[in-house]
Structures are given as structure tokens and as C-alpha cells.
Structure 1
């Protein structure tokens, strides 16, 4: 039987042999290179009010297409959450993914038209699963998980209230919401942005919870595709291309505001800081749903300016657009 000392001697001898071999090869002009390490994808959970504005559909398609991200779950949030879950289920099937659980949050009133209802109603319903339980399972399975929050924050606030210990195992929350120094058009005054204003109490709870928070407000999310960009995306080599064209047509027919890809920004920026650089800041949500800068220690990192070149390049790359 080999003793521990003997085993150690064998390991040391092997190391010496390898070192000598490397030295000989170096003298002969041969360079030994360390194997290339492929970084592990960032695990993300998407909480979205998909189906009203079309930006959520682009955000989900981008997340499912990006090899740097791995989506481990998705939930429909706010409004008709069950129909949102059906829409998510349809997009997941287009991606050929069978490993992503789809959940529904608490159904609420919704002042916004579900513009893509006709497409969503054609999709099969996923297995019944409530958002709080789905998030809890995902976080406990993957501590440090990133939540991509693309909706009013009701589902997150419900988890915080029901299971604060699990909530605080979230790695960070990348949130589209708020208006810090401008509103819905460049140079305009800040307003109570939609995702925050629809459920002020939930937003206040999430902002005050202490989990690392990345905020992508209106200041940096007014990404509007021009005609050439729409054409590129329509011709993308992506399983989502034709569906995104159809969903955009439905949305634009129902909305007077056109297509703005608000929710795509945090998805693209969460693992590529050049898309939307972050600034430490203290933000508070007031009773009217305004996100105000405040004195004191930073509770969030906030993107105030989008790098549009990086944004469109990354989106086109993810969706295979030319």
C-alpha cells in the first residue's frame, strides 16, 4: 500500500518531469499555451409583462439567443399573466428550449392594451406554476442568480414579502424602470415611468431591499429602430425573425407610440458594460412613482446614457442580423 508520503513523492516527481519537458520544448522554440477557458454563461431569470409593448418580445429573443446568458426561467408579470406565460411558452419553443419553466404572477388590472393577444392566444399554456414559487426554486438552485426585471415589480415584491431569506440570495436585479433626468423624449422632464408607476409600493420595496440593483431608466432606454434597422432585424438569421416582424406589426397597429426597445437594454447590458455604463447613485421611489436622486450612500448603479453603436451591434449579433 502506498503511503501518503509516497503518493506526494509521485505527484512531485511528475511535476518535475513536466517542468523539465516544458523547459526542453521552450529551448526548441516551442511555446506551451494554457488551454483557452470558455467563460460560463451568466444565469438569468426573466420577469416580463410581454404582450403589451413589443420590446419585451425582442428582449426575450435576445436573451435566448445570447450564448453569454443562460435563461433558467421566465414569468409573466402584471395584467393577464397567464396569457403572458403562453406567449413566453411560444417563444421558448421557437428557440428549441424545453428546459425553461414558465410561470405566471398574480393577475392584476392593466390599463394597457395587450397588443399581441392574437399571437399569444395561439400558443399552448405551460404547466401551471406560480411566479413566486418558480423564482424561489430558481434562486435556491442557483444562488447569485441575476433577475432581469422587465415589468412592474409585483412578482419580486411578493417574493420579498413571502420569503425574504431567498430573495436576498439574488445576485443582482437588472431593472428597466424609472426616469432620473429625462422622460419619454430626449431633453424632457422626468416623469413617473410606467413600470414604476403601475405598482409604486412594489417598486419602493425592491429599491429598499438591499439586493444589488442595476437600473436602466428612460434616460438610457429610448432605443428606437430606424427603417434600415427594422429591415436588418426582419432579415435576421434567427428563429425569431418572422415572429418579431409579426409581433411588431400587431403592436404598431395598436399603439400610437411606435416601437421603442426599452426592455432590450438591460438584457444586452447585463454582461457587456460598454452597452450602458453604470454610475453609482442613490435612488428613491416617491409616492407618485417618480425615481428621485437622493443624498446618501448609493443603493443602485444606474445607466444614464446608452452607447447606441454597442447596443445595435450587440442586438444584431445576437439575432444574426446583417
Structure 2
């Protein structure tokens, strides 16, 4: 499966990218970057750093630096650290982004590979909305958009009613949900069931000293946030869960329904069912043990 990950790396983004690189059933054909966990320039640097770290020949296209209508955006440094990778702050790479913008790259890849490209959007949806605005055929050309975002039947994580990726650009998300593209939503309804313990990362580091050791190092900051702020015993495997959903939907229970995004001040970013909108496959339950086992088994192959 040809996959582009739209990303704002990000600890759990790094996990998703490592998995996609290692998975035998995925051909990672590009990364597009956007603001979110970090500023977009940091996201682009981090994405290129990961590609260099993995020895991957994969283009990185830089995208949107701010949401459509929301002002005052600030990165999630308290969750992912000041540079996106926890306490790992020395992030240097000789790689550079390609000339095309994220939206241009997405449009071209979908046009050249009609029905074949799966976009895993694990960040605010501004780049995806930009691609839809740039090319009216994008929604039809792209094979599927798997979105890590939203909270349909569970509380949010940035507000009681809203999940962070949707909240950071709710107007873009509303456009994407209304586009008619084939969409799968992998939100907090399922990702909060994939809590990973410190022991999981320690075991991964023993099995794969380079890749696992890096994830163990950067996950420490992430774990501390979940334990001290979110009150959880482990850190959620948000973004990697979305990538796994792209190829292993048998591990998820879904419901087909239209979705809308609340744009009011009081419930900004809330994702709710809207039968009048085009149907979206909403993940509502998950075989969490199988998803976690698949992640750690696949990434362990990286060594």
C-alpha cells in the first residue's frame, strides 16, 4: 500500500513513521509537514531527521504554517518537548524539503496514482484541505484519507469536547469531512485504548537498539506528560494506530456516518455525527492488544 503521512513530528508521529518504514505491507512514498506539535519548520526538520536516521529515500514536502481562521496558535511543547522529540533537542540533518509544497505534492501524487495513495493525516488537517482547494479532483483521486483525530463518543484531550488535531484547525477539518473523499476516522475513541508502558519501550530498545533506543529516549518526556498531567499509566499510541488502521481494518470496529465539526466558541473542534454530510468510517472500538503487538513486533525489525 502506498502511503503518505501528513505529520507534525512529534513523539507519536515518530512512532508512526518508524512503523510505516518497517512494515512490509507499506510503501512509504512521502511525508508532508504541518504545524501542530511543533512549528512547521521544526516539523520539516524533524521529518527529514527521521528519514536520515532510518536511511530512507523518502521526500518531505513542507506545508501549512498556521490554521485557516484560528489565531494565536502555539505548539504542544508541554506534551512533546520544545523541539518535538522530548528531551532530545540536538536535531540536525543535511536533508532538505522538496520544492513542491505539501498540497502540491499531495495533489500530484494522487493524480499520478489514482485510487492508490492512502494519506495518513496524523496532524491538523490544513494540508489536506489545501489539497482539496488546489485540485477539485483530489478527493476523488486519493484512495483514502485515514485521519488521526476527533473524539466522537469520548471526551477530548485539548478541551473536554475536542481532540487536538481537529481543534488546531477546525475549519480545515470541516472542509475535509464535507469533501466526499473516502475517509476513515481513527480518533480518541480507539487511540486512548492503546496505552504503552515504559516497559514496552524498554523491551523494544533491547530488541532494536538503534530505533528502539531512540523511541525509548524521546518517549520519556511523553510518558511524564501522560502520568503527571493526563493522569494515565501509559502514553497513547495515537498516530501509529492510524497507520495500522490503513492496512489492518480488521482490528477495528467502525460505524459509517457523516461528520461535522463545531465551529462555535463554546464547542470549537467538537466532532459530531451529521447524517447530511458524506459518510465517514468512524472507528469506535479496537483490538488494542493486537494493534500494540503489531506495532512493537514490526518496529523491532528495524534493529
Residue 96 in 1 paired to residue 55 in 2?
yes
Q: Which residue of the other structure, out of 150, 153, 158, is the alignment partner of 2:125? A: 153
Q: Residue 69 of structure 2 aligns with which residue?
A: none
Q: How does 1:104-253 map to 2 (within 5 A)?
A: 104-108=62-66, 109-113=73-77, 115=81, 117=83, 118-119=88-89, 121-129=91-99, 130-144=101-115, 145-184=117-156, 191-222=161-192, 223-237=194-208, 239-252=210-223
Deviation at 1:61, TM superposition (A): 0.7
SS of the counterpart of 1:91? helix
Contact 1:236 1:319 in 2 (8 A): no
Structure 1 residue 68 corresponds to structure 2 residue 32: no
Output the CA distance in 1 between the equivalents of 2:82 and 2:113. 32
Pairing partner for 1:319 from 289, 299, 302: 299
> 1:276 is matched with which residue: 220, 233, 252?
252
Aligned-partner Cα distance in 2 for 1:224–1:74 = 25
Whole-angstrom distance in 2 between the partners of 1:219 and 1:196:
14
The yes-or-no answer on 1:285 pairing with 2:285 is: no
TM-aligned CA deviation for residue 101 of structure 1: 0.7
- TM-score by length of structure 2 reads 0.83
Q: Is the 2:178–2:277 contact (alpha carbons within 8 Å) kept by the matching residues of 1? A: no
CA 1:116–1:254 in 2, change beyond 3 Å: closer, same or farther? farther
Name which one, 1 or 2, has greater alpha-carbon Rg: 1
Matches of 1:246 and 1:167 in 2, distance apart? 38
Structure 1 unaligned residues grouped into runs of 5+: 1-41
Distance 1:111 1:253, change over 3 A: same
Q: How big is each residue's C-alpha offset from its partner over 1:68-97, in whole Å with a ceiling of 9 and x where there is no partner?
A: 011111011115212211111121122221
- CA distance in 2 between counterparts of 1:275 and 1:173 reads 18
Match of 1:263 in 2: 239
**Residue 209 of structure 1: how far off its partner (Å):** 0.1
TM-score (norm 1): 0.78
Higher relative contact order (CA 8 A, sep 6+): 2
Gaps of 5+ in 2: 67-72
Displacement after TM superposition at 1:296 (Å): 4.6
- TM-align CA RMSD: 2.4
- How far apart are the structure 2 equivalents of 1:94 and 1:266? 22
Structure in which a larger fraction of residues adopt strand: 2
Aligned partners of 2:51 and 2:221: how far apart in 1? Answer: 20
Q: How many angstroms apart in 2 are the aligned matches of 1:164 and 1:232?
A: 47
Aligned to 1:9: none
The answer on whether the counterparts of 2:182 and 2:280 sit within 8 Å (CA) in structure 1 is: yes
After TM superposition, which residue ranges in structure 1, 4 or more long, deviate above 6 angstroms?
Answer: none
